[in-house]
Amino acid sequence: MKKNDRIYDVKGFDLSQENMGLQETIFHNANGYLGVRGNLEEGLPEGMDTMRGTYINGFYDMVPMKQAELLCNLVEDKEALLNVADAQTLKCRLGDTTFSMWEGECENLCRTLDMNRGITTRTLRWHMPEGKSVDFDIRRMASFSEKSLFMIDYRVTSVDYSGRAQILSLHEGIVHNYSNPNDPRMAAESGDYLKKVAGKTIGDVSLLVSETASTHLRVASAVALEITRNGKPVYPGDGCLVYDEETHQTIFRMETSLTPGDTLRVVKYCIFTDSRRSPEPAQDALARLAAVREKGTEVLYQEQQEFLEEFWNRTGLSVEGDEELNQSLQYNMYALLQSAGTDGITSIPAKGLSGEGYEGHYFWDTEMFMLPFFAMNAPEIARKLLSYRYHTLPQARHNAMLLGHKKGALYPWRTITGRECSGYFPSGTAAYHINGDIAYAVVLYYLSTGDVEFMREEGFEILLESARLWMDVGNFYQDEFQINCVTGPDEYTCMVNNNYYTNCCARYNLEWVCRLGDAWQKDTEFWKQLCQRLDIAPEELPEMKRAAEKMRLVYDENLGINPQDDSFLQKPVWDLSRTDPKDFPLLLHYPPLHLYRYQVCKQADTVLAHYLFPAYQSEETIRKSFDYYEKITTHDSSLSTCVFSIVASRLGLHDKAVYYMGDSAKMDLKNTHHNSRDGIHAANMGGSYMAIVNGLGGLRMEESRVSLAPFLPESWEGFSFRFTYRGSVLEAAVKKTPDGSCRTELAMVSGHPVCVCLYGIEKVLAEGESITDTPD
Amino acid sequence: MKKNDRIYDVKGFDLSQENMGLQETIFHNANGYLGVRGNLEEGLPEGMDTMRGTYINGFYDMVPMKQAELLCNLVEDKEALLNVADAQTLKCRLGDTTFSMWEGECENLCRTLDMNRGITTRTLRWHMPEGKSVDFDIRRMASFSEKSLFMIDYRVTSVDYSGRAQILSLHEGIVHNYSNPNDPRMAAESGDYLKKVAGKTIGDVSLLVSETASTHLRVASAVALEITRNGKPVYPGDGCLVYDEETHQTIFRMETSLTPGDTLRVVKYCIFTDSRRSPEPAQDALARLAAVREKGTEVLYQEQQEFLEEFWNRTGLSVEGDEELNQSLQYNMYALLQSAGTDGITSIPAKGLSGEGYEGHYFWDTEMFMLPFFAMNAPEIARKLLSYRYHTLPQARHNAMLLGHKKGALYPWRTITGRECSGYFPSGTAAYHINGDIAYAVVLYYLSTGDVEFMREEGFEILLESARLWMDVGNFYQDEFQINCVTGPDEYTCMVNNNYYTNCCARYNLEWVCRLGDAWQKDTEFWKQLCQRLDIAPEELPEMKRAAEKMRLVYDENLGINPQDDSFLQKPVWDLSRTDPKDFPLLLHYPPLHLYRYQVCKQADTVLAHYLFPAYQSEETIRKSFDYYEKITTHDSSLSTCVFSIVASRLGLHDKAVYYMGDSAKMDLKNTHHNSRDGIHAANMGGSYMAIVNGLGGLRMEESRVSLAPFLPESWEGFSFRFTYRGSVLEAAVKKTPDGSCRTELAMVSGHPVCVCLYGIEKVLAEGESITDTPD
């Protein structure tokens, strides 16, 4: 792979509001804890809309969500990720003009995301209205080694300007979430959720503490500036730092001068801490600020680069022959890394930490679309993501109880701390498959890592409580185990009976509880203790086994497919070929009740089940299902095309696999869904990774081995990827042979010997060994 | 029937908040246009909760109804009946004490509703704290002959009191709907919807005009007092009438004196007019006020009594042998009369005009439960109720379009002017059976009256537009016509496929369009014009005929019953015998998603279909269905027991018929559902009437005749009722014979000869003729 495939830049871009909004997302800086939108330090001109935000993963307040009609136990408020403080503002005034890209003229304008170094930059030569010129070089970083740190490294170099240079820097403690006066719904939700607690300056440090209105969480931010001219300290020294109590902000002003060739460099260290992680956020912020200043920028940059070197070394994904695709894939993996909470009390918001879309909530997106990437490349992060779910089991039990269940746990459809935050239950709370999704991810992690300790301590309890819920929600009817009135992944059909995907998930969940139970019962003492701790009755697992065996998986003899649910096929087929292109996405143009009455899918549903649970159906059925659903799926959800790509790969439909993968991989970087301004589509990013590794690569984690069966798209030269399996790192390299077919080399890079299966040939590989084969 | 069965009184009642709230409903005065709660003129003591209200049928403003999640075309505001003005206040101060039932002591306390005279009274002897006594006699009336008039006739007679007597009378133009600080939802909805427009005094008349905030409807109220002492005028004369602009109210004060034996009589004429009916409500109010004052109280009382004499003469319903039941039935008929809008732009609110429950909305309640009473006893009112629906066809067409339909009209689930006001569409808007209900009522009215003119001008168009909707929402599948994803009457199951009730309604609707079309096509010219006016394509009716013939009416071979919908029987049966009595109604204790997963019914659904459409199933099936659904129906809806009573009668289950009828008939007067304080259960009142006439009486309107097959409950001596059929008045009298069985005499009271069928024997009866028979 060319080194610069991980350097994404845009040059001479247009300054439209739309493009600036998109760039705020694309060039955001985040590290799983902290996320800062790619706003401009100097702001946008008056009247241009911007979503200016700094977010801490899982830092939230309660927002009212009144229901139009009162029904028992409906959710009437929700958690919402807050914009916590604004430390981004830096303004540079030269002569009579404050720097802005909309004043004077910009030359060599360029924004860059350097994924090898983990920084974003903005560089340009600015021709001032007065006629002189200066160069700007602005770097931003959210540090992976010091997660509380966001840093701005701002350099102004005079080309031919001589005169005054004024620096204004702000640190604002009261900020609001994004609101748009044209959308009263959003405006209503951007209330005053942050309250001032304390603010002060301590030497050259600005410290602000705010508290949320109803959850009483505290956030502290500590900011320090270091300013040099041509490498020599200017501040601390000159300059004036003042805390304004009324507005709860700190204002820094300094005036100096520039002559041609001079470089003024402003380093702004911004530390964010919060009371969900720290008992004393303010003290903690000051200590961390002191620590990072002690290190200094060069060490911090170095740490960032080393961290990313290791990350890229572990993923090792590269596509030869489609540069744009390859770069998009790098971006997607990078964005996933930026998004993932790794502290066990957070997960991955649907939009990562790149924006406020979906209120920073965690959905099934994490487990089904993003966690697989981490399981294969950073299992320690995957485990943390599962631990987050383990820690919210009490809330999930409570949620089940609120919904009338007598046992088990039901995970919320969308949440931050574990309580249900979905306002429209028919396509929210009713999506019980979330339980099966989490169970699937637990098993996937276990298969990838063999981490028995995790399973014994946390994983099994998740599986068990989820399985208990299936036993409570389901019932036997005509010798089948039924699950009625739930909603599958496809939200264009709601509250149906025996959704194929849901029932597959439930069956798999129940099977794995029984499988682990069977295995662990041999360890009598451990099993006895476990039964005691988890209150497992002797008849419980046998009942689950029977439910799994008798699980209704709908099948239609005529079509030879799995209908999406019991009654899906009795509805008329929506004719997508006659639908006005302006009417997509359908959910914005048709009321739910109308959509529910047609065979039309927002996203992969049965097809997703075919990917995840291929053993439940013959390949013939899967092929027919794929063909059937492809015709009625709109892909209005961003979670759809990646799944179609994977299953197309499985079925040998190579052209389709590549076509769908392209949509998935380039969604954000190319803004193909026209809404990346609100934030990245994090799940789709994981999906595009799976489309390569699990789709093209055919990788499957199995109980006794990992198997692969890659194929190479015609237009590509090759592709390769690394993955971690049971602690060992392996690399698959797929190359075009001189005769135009492909050849795969699977090599053990490091670790203990593991059993692999390439194109159906099984072998145990030790470190340094490899096998090479070609598809049939 | 004893004369006093139409005089309901409560003596020496307790003064608890609960009881006073109930009395506010029971003793409300209304006339279909105007409704005044049975509040006390002097108000309640500080801290006691009251719903003080005066309502004009269909006078509303828009109330925001924010949805928790934004979905396409969801309703986000609703119409709500407004409390329009308060003219009730009259306070009498004797010496140092203002009269209140909570001061001093009350003797011979009595509240009466005299349904023969159409007035309510409150009488008592008040022992003042100071030791002296006066008698109060307060009468209230909402006039049927002058519908804008509400009148208070207030008499104070001194027993042994001598001294000052002060009268304070208020007329308030800015009032609010009921709010309860303990229920934030209600509080939020009691906003400032009335704005002051004008207020003044003109001689002894107080005139206030207010306007609604968003719909800009105007309400005018004109109030005049006439005061006499021992029959001699005191006011106009003494007294002081002042308009206070700031509070938009008029205050009247007068001071006089009383000596033992003196009677001070205050007559308060209160006229209400509004801009939905009158282009100049203020002038109209003044003119009407002058007119009623000209008439004077005695004439007004006389007119009221005459009006009611005619009403009672037409209904003639009487039960001998259960006085409490008989009185409840009289009350129910009276309350229905009080509730019915008769101007073609209003219908009957779910709570009549007795309270604010359900925001004054019209539901299917009118057509299915109340209109039959009027069709049989006051067809001119039934026609007005149907005209209301006809006039809202444009809104129903718009509603269908909003829901994605390409043709037809869909009536709103709840509304005032015709727009959908339901906030939770799965059990609101999705209840498409509303269309079939209205169609059924059109046909019922036609069968009862033979009013071809109405059918040609309005009725057929309703049927046709409704039928078109069925054709659009339904689809053929496996040679059956299906209607998917709708909600039947039973709201404990939502958005199901082929709800039996709905499909029956749709079939009946389609059949009648075809039947009328077939008949009318013979009149070539008329049919041609009609096809042109209603844009009827040649293939349209044949397609409807086919859909009707192929309509899927679910039937289960094993149980021999009609399942409520396609998947009802695959759900587990809710065990009502093991449900904690505290958990009823279930909807307050279980979330909808939970209820939807069980075989448990809030109300009659399939059983209602069996009543309405007996021809669609064998009696054997109906019997089995009745048994089956009886076990799983909670009757949490007030619309349930009356239906079970009717079908029990049909099946010869006499004990059950009487049992269920009792619950239905006494619901409000005995407050059996513990919520009559919010207003009457108007639909149930109509249902209790049907339980007698259509249930016990077995009355059915048919195309060529009216048939009856009464039976007499064992404990009764007899019952009788009159009804109007094709313009003729008939009377059925059922009497116990000396041997304990029963005998029915069916007599033609007045009108043209009609064909009747008694116990299966058909005969044409002319005026004055009768037939007598006994059941087999």
> Which residue among A403, A484, A591 sits closest to B72, beta carbon to beta carbon?
A591
Q: What is the pLDDT of residues A575-589, one digit of tens each?
A: 999 999 999 999 999
> Which residue among B404, B571, B595 sits closest to A591, beta carbon to beta carbon?
B404
Q: What is the pLDDT of residue B187?
A: 45
Q: What is the pLDDT of residues B416-447, one digit of tens each?
A: 999 999 999 999 999 999 999 999 999 999 99
Q: What is the pLDDT of residue A405?
A: 97
Catalytic residues of A: 491
Distance from CA of A338 to the nearest CA of B (A): 29
Is A416:A58 a contact under the CB 8 Å cutoff? yes
Q: What is the pLDDT of residue A182?
A: 63
Q: What angle do CA A149, A154, A157 make, to 5 degrees?
A: 165
Chain B residues closer than 8 Å to A70 by CB: 185
Distance from CA of B188 to the nearest CA of A (A): 11
> Which residue among A65, A66, A591 sits closest to B73, beta carbon to beta carbon?
A591
Q: What is the pLDDT of residues B684-739, one digit of tens each?
A: 999 999 999 999 999 999 999 999 999 999 999 999 999 999 999 999 999 999 98
Q: Is B495 in contact with A497 (Cβ distance < 8 A)?
A: no
Interface size, chain A vs chain B, as Cβ–Cβ contacts under 8 Å: 139
Q: What is the pLDDT of residue B72?
A: 94
Q: What is the pLDDT of residue A209?
A: 98
Quickly count helices (H) and strands (E) in chain A.
20, 30
pLDDT band at B1 (very low <50, low <70, confident <90, very high): low
Residue carrying structure tokens 């919520």 = B675
Residue carrying structure tokens 């059950």 = B656
Q: What is the pLDDT of residues B294-326, one digit of tens each?
A: 999 999 999 999 999 999 999 999 999 999 999
Q: Is A497 in contact with B425 (Cβ distance < 8 A)?
A: no
Q: What angle do CA A64, A66, A72 make, to 5 degrees?
A: 115
Tell me the C-alpha distance between A714 and A691, whole Å: 16
Q: Is A68 in contact with B65 (Cβ distance < 8 A)?
A: yes
Q: Is B572 in contact with A475 (Cβ distance < 8 A)?
A: yes
Chain A residues closer than 8 Å to B481 by CB: none
Tell me the C-alpha distance between A550 and A553, whole Å: 9
Chain B interface disruption, residue of A429, A593, A636, most B CBs within 10 A: A593
Q: What is the pLDDT of residue A185?
A: 47
Sheet with B761-765: list strands edge to edge.
B700-701, B706-708, B754-758, B761-765
Q: Is B69 in contact with A424 (Cβ distance < 8 A)?
A: yes
Residue carrying structure tokens 């279930």 = B586
Chain A residues closer than 8 Å to B425 by CB: 591-593
Distance from CA of B492 to the nearest CA of A (A): 12
Q: Is B423 in contact with A67 (Cβ distance < 8 A)?
A: yes
Q: pLDDT at residue A186 above 60?
A: no
Tell me the C-alpha distance between A202 and B441, whole Å: 80
Average pLDDT over every residue of A177-200: 77
Of the candidates B693, B699, B705, B694, the residue with the CA atom closest to the CA atom of residue B763: B705
Burial class (CB in 10 A: 0-12, 13-18, 19+), B126: buried
Average pLDDT over every residue of A68-77: 92
Q: What is the pLDDT of residues A592-603, one digit of tens each?
A: 999 999 999 999
Q: What is the pLDDT of residues A717-734, one digit of tens each?
A: 999 999 999 999 999 999
Q: How far is CA A652 from the centre of its chain?
A: 29
Q: Is A589 in contact with B475 (Cβ distance < 8 A)?
A: no
Q: What is the pLDDT of residues B208-255, one digit of tens each?
A: 999 999 999 999 999 999 999 999 999 887 789 999 999 999 999 999
- For helices A682-690 and A641-650, the axis angle rounded to 10 degrees is 10
pLDDT band at B191 (very low <50, low <70, confident <90, very high): confident
Closest residue, chain A, to B431 (C-alpha)? A593
Q: How many percent of chain B have pLDDT more than 90?
A: 95
> Which residue among A66, A404, A589 sits closest to B594, beta carbon to beta carbon?
A404
Q: pLDDT at residue B639 above 90?
A: yes
| Residues whose CB falls within 8 Å of the CB of residue A518, separated by 6 or more in sequence, listed in order | none
Q: What is the pLDDT of residue B217?
A: 98
Is A34:A342 a contact under the CB 8 Å cutoff? no
Q: What is the pLDDT of residues A502-558, one digit of tens each?
A: 999 999 999 999 999 999 999 999 999 999 999 999 999 999 999 999 999 999 999
Reading the block at residue B542, the tokens are: 């044949």
pLDDT band at A253 (very low <50, low <70, confident <90, very high): very high
Q: pLDDT at residue B760 above 50?
A: yes
Closest residue, chain A, to B477 (C-alpha)? A570
Q: Is A591 in contact with B473 (Cβ distance < 8 A)?
A: no
Q: What is the pLDDT of residue B185?
A: 47
Distance from CA of A494 to the nearest CA of B (A): 9
Q: Rounded mean pLDDT of chain A?
A: 96
Q: pLDDT at residue B3 above 70?
A: no
Sign, Cα dihedral of A637, A641, A643, A647: positive
Tell me the C-alpha distance between B660 and B642, whole Å: 6
Where helices occur in B320-411 by DSSP H, the ranges are 323-339, 365, 371-377, 379-391, 393-402
Distance from CA of B366 to the nearest CA of A (A): 22
Q: What is the pLDDT of residue A3?
A: 60
Q: Is A423 in contact with B67 (Cβ distance < 8 A)?
A: yes
Q: Rounded mean pLDDT of chain B?
A: 96
CA distances from B640 to A18, B635, B745 (A): 57, 5, 30
pLDDT band at A457 (very low <50, low <70, confident <90, very high): very high
> Which residue among A76, A422, A593 sits closest to B403, beta carbon to beta carbon?
A593
Q: What is the pLDDT of residues B30-89, one digit of tens each?
A: 999 999 999 999 999 999 999 999 999 999 999 999 899 989 999 999 999 999 999 999
> Which residue among B71, B482, B497 sits closest to A591, beta carbon to beta carbon?
B71
CA distances from B697 to B317, B661, B751, B754 (A): 11, 13, 21, 18
pLDDT band at B188 (very low <50, low <70, confident <90, very high): very low
Q: pLDDT at residue B186 above 60?
A: no
Q: What is the pLDDT of residue B180?
A: 73
Average pLDDT over every residue of A21-43: 98
Distance from CA of B402 to the nearest CA of A (A): 8
Say which amino acid occupies B498.
Answer: N
Tell me the C-alpha distance between B359 and A300, whole Å: 64
What ipTM was estimated for this complex?
Answer: 0.94
Tell me the C-alpha distance between B155 and A687, whole Å: 82
Q: What is the pLDDT of residue B388?
A: 98
